[in-house]
Amino acid sequence: MHKMVGVVFKVLAISLVLMFMMNVSIVVIDTLTVYNRVQSLMGILQKEVVNNNCLRDGAKQYMKDKLESIKKGSDVVKDFETNFDSQLVVDGVTYDSIGESNVKNYGETLDIVIKINFSANVFFPYQKGTDSGMVRSTTVNYSLTMKDTVPALRYLK
């Protein structure tokens, strides 16, 4: 009988570790998926900004819709911050708007910035001194900033 109790506790311990590893793996895979999708949108944004010296209103709405669909398809994305409409401050650095209100001349550079704020629920095993049972859930907040600098290549009259 005592061997069966030991086996049960080993199975419980292994299942807790596997549950933690699976949860963290899912969060990492979801984060990488969001990163890849936003990276492909950055390529479209680069071409748009280079050709027009700004982000036109139609393209701006398209990009906002795409970012919103990425947010809806992910369990970890909390929100996106962009410099499409107005200035954006990231880590003390201010990036100008790339909208039609801030058209650049030929040869000037524009910074395309998208900040992705994540909020993921991760399960951790019991910690000494807490009364939350065997497993507790913690919300982990983190962010990722994607920045590209592109030249304005269209001559303005």
Question: pLDDT tens track of the chain, all 157 residues?
Answer: 678 888 888 898 888 888 888 988 999 999 999 999 999 999 999 999 999 899 999 999 999 999 999 999 999 999 999 999 889 999 999 999 998 888 888 889 999 999 999 999 887 766 666 665 666 778 889 999 999 999 988 887 6
106 contact partners, CB below 8 Å, separation of at least 6: 53, 152, 153, 154, 155, 156
Does residue 157 form part of some domain? no
Helix-strand-coil split of the chain, %, nearest 5: 45, 30, 25
Q: Which of 49, 55, 42, 58 is nearest to 153 (CA)?
A: 49
Does residue 42 form part of some domain? yes
Q: Is 147 exposed, middle or buried (0-12, 13-18, 19+ CB in 10 A)?
A: middle
Which residue type sits at 54? C
Does residue 14 form part of some domain? yes
User: 99 is in which domain, residue-wise?
Assistant: 2-151
Does residue 156 form part of some domain? no
The tally of domains found in the chain comes to: 1
The Cβ of residue 59 has, within 10 Å, a number of other Cβ atoms equal to 18
